[in-house]
């Protein structure tokens, strides 16, 4: 018998896992059905099983193609992006011991935007570089600067956060400088729109890449989950519990930076998911990371798929940037958690 499970509510955890898997499946199905051109859930199901070679039902080829090539890949990338951002948020909140930490505190999104404008506005790479590659390079440049400013992220949480703030300011200033001096209004708008997030252009290769990165990150982080728990009372306390603090910090910062940079370069800097979801997940499964990280992944995935659906239905004939939706959906949700978790005084 594992008292760990009996005490922490194994039943509750199992229920949560089953429920969230079902909700995720439904959310993806709806995301695939809904759009300018509505497709019935039955057709969605048959199209997918057809493509997987499980059935040979008759489905209009155009519908099958829309379901498989456009919408399913998009919904799954949304799910993975949500999962990745939420995990990064949980890890950074633990490592930096700051409930306000989120995936972009280390300057990654600011760096990505600078990289993106370098490609779009300055035309660096003369068309050979895609916007995504530029954004990825920028994101990593920002992270490298933060690592440098905080001695390889070893000089304490607040120092690291300040280094992240400095890097964000620097790269945001660079972005503004480039846009105002050499961009035109349209280019500036493009960059803005891209930064606020969009799943518009994603296809299967994006999904495969992101799936690989998310799975590898999840495995590494789950491997270190026990060490993350030990950070509850600070770095020195973690060291007294046998955690090689410097190494763990560096590896986990590296993983979160890689994951965030991949997501940002693919779908833009979608805010709020990485901040809100870890708090919600902690509220459901408790603070221990071996449960919290998978829970974040699932809740983040559901949240992002629903936000993507919302972004397509709230304004007809138009797609609202996903970052706007996550904030609009996230804030009330966050308010509820804050209200329910307020100190009992």
Partner 1 sequence: MSVVAENLNWGVKRKAIVLGVSLTVAPGETLGLIGPNGSGKSSLLRLLAGLRRPDTGRVEINGQDIAQVSRKALSRQVAFVQQSVATDTNVTVVDVVRLGRTPHRSAFAGWSEADETSVAEALDRVDMASRRKQAWQTLSGGERQRVHIARALAQAPQVMFLDEPTNHLDIHHQIEILRMVRDLDLTSVVALHDLNLAAMFCDRIVVLQDGAVRVCGTPHTVLTRETLRDVFRVSAYVDISPYHSQPHIRFSAV
Strands (E), the chain: none
Tell me the H-state helices in 96-122.
108-120
Longest dimension (CA), the chain: 67
Q: Which lies closer to partner 1 via its Cβ, residue 61 or residue 242?
A: 242
Binding mask 78-97 for partner 1 (x = CB under 8 A): ----------------x--x
As given in the structure block, the two tokens for residue 245 are 């603090």
159 is a site residue for partner 1 (CB under 8 A): no
As given in the structure block, the two tokens for residue 326 are 């996550």
Which stretch, 82-90, 119-127, 283-291, 305-313, contacts partner 1 (CB under 8 A)?
A: 283-291
Burial group, residue 128, by CB count within 10 angstroms (0-12, 13-18, 19+)? exposed
CA distance 133 to 208: 16
Q: Report the nearest approach of partner 1 to the CB of residue 230 (Å).
A: 5
The owner of tokens 């993350």 is 228
Binding mask 102-141 for partner 1 (x = CB under 8 A): ----------------------------------------
Burial group, residue 235, by CB count within 10 angstroms (0-12, 13-18, 19+)? buried
Q: Which of 162, 250, 287, 337 binds partner 1 (CB under 8 A)?
A: 287
Q: Which lies closer to partner 1 via its Cβ, residue 221 or residue 266?
A: 221
288 is a site residue for partner 1 (CB under 8 A): yes
Q: How many CB atoms lie within 10 A of CB 240?
A: 12
341 is a site residue for partner 1 (CB under 8 A): yes
Q: Report the nearest approach of partner 1 to the CB of residue 5 (Å).
A: 8
Size of the site for partner 1 (CB under 8 A): 35
Q: Which lies closer to partner 1 via its Cβ, residue 13 or residue 222?
A: 222
Phi, psi values for residue 174, rounded to 5°: -60, -45
Q: Which lies closer to partner 1 via its Cβ, residue 56 or residue 343?
A: 343
Phi, psi values for residue 93, rounded to 5°: -60, -35
282 is a site residue for partner 1 (CB under 8 A): yes
CA distance 336 to 342: 10
Phi, psi values for residue 341, rounded to 5°: -95, 10
11 is a site residue for partner 1 (CB under 8 A): no
Q: Which lies closer to partner 1 via its Cβ, residue 203 or residue 226?
A: 226
Q: Report the nearest approach of partner 1 to the CB of residue 211 (Å).
A: 22
**82, 305 contact by CB (below 8 A):** yes
177 is a site residue for partner 1 (CB under 8 A): no
**252, 224 contact by CB (below 8 A):** yes
Which stretch, 44-52, 151-159, 167-175, 285-293, contacts partner 1 (CB under 8 A)?
A: 285-293
Q: Which lies closer to partner 1 via its Cβ, residue 35 or residue 287?
A: 287
Q: Which of 224, 266, 270, 277 binds partner 1 (CB under 8 A)?
A: 224
Q: Report the nearest approach of partner 1 to the CB of residue 26 (Å).
A: 31
17 is a site residue for partner 1 (CB under 8 A): no
Categorise residue 279: left if φ over 0, alpha if ψ from -120 to 50, beta otherwise.
alpha
DSSP 3-state of 344: coil
CA distance 308 to 322: 6
Ranges within 229-248 binding partner 1 (CB under 8 A): 229-230, 232-234, 236-237, 239-244
13 is a site residue for partner 1 (CB under 8 A): no
Rounded alpha-carbon distances, angstroms, from residue 204 to 61, 69, 77, 320, 343:
18, 7, 9, 23, 46
Point out which residues bind partner 1 (CB under 8 A): 2-5, 7, 94, 97-99, 222-227, 229-230, 232-234, 236-237, 239-244, 282, 286-288, 290, 341, 343
């Amino acid at each position: 018998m594992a008292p760990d499970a009996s005490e922490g509510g194994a039943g509750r955890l199992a229920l949560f896992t089953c429920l969230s898997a079902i909700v995720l499946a439904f959310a993806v199905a709806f995301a695939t059905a809904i759009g300018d051109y509505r497709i019935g859930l039955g057709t969605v199901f048959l199209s997918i099983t057809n493509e997987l070679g499980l059935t040979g039902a008759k489905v209009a080829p155009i519908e099958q193609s829309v379901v498989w090539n456009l919408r399913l890949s998009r919904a799954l990338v949304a799910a993975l992006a949500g999962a990745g951002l939420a995990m990064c948020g949980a890890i950074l909140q633990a490592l930096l011991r700051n409930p306000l930490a989120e995936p972009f505190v280390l300057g990654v999104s600011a760096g990505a935007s600078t990289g993106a404008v370098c490609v779009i506005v300055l035309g660096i790479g003369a068309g050979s570089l895609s916007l995504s590659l530029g954004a990825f390079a920028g994101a990593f440049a920002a992270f490298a600067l933060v690592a440098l400013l905080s001695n390889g992220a070893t000089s304490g949480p607040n120092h690291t956060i300040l280094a992240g703030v400095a890097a964000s300011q620097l790269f945001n200033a660079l972005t503004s400088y480039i846009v105002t001096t050499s961009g035109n209004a349209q280019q500036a708008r493009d960059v803005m729109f891209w930064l606020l997030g969009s799943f518009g252009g994603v296809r299967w290769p994006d999904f495969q890449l992101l799936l690989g990165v998310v799975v590898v990150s999840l495995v590494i982080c789950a491997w270190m989950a026990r060490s993350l728990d030990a950070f509850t009372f600070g770095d020195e306390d973690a060291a007294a519990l046998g955690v090689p603090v410097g190494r763990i910090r560096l590896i986990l910062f590296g993983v979160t930076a890689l994951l965030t940079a991949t997501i940002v370069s693919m779908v833009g800097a979608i805010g709020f998911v990485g901040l809100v979801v870890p708090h919600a997940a902690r509220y459901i499964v408790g603070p221990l990371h071996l449960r919290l990280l998978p829970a974040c992944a699932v809740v983040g995935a559901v949240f992002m798929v629903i936000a993507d659906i919302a972004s397509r239905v709230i304004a007809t004939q138009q797609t609202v940037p996903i970052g706007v939706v996550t904030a609009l959906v996230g804030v009330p949700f966050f308010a509820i958690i804050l209200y329910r978790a307020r100190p009992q005084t």
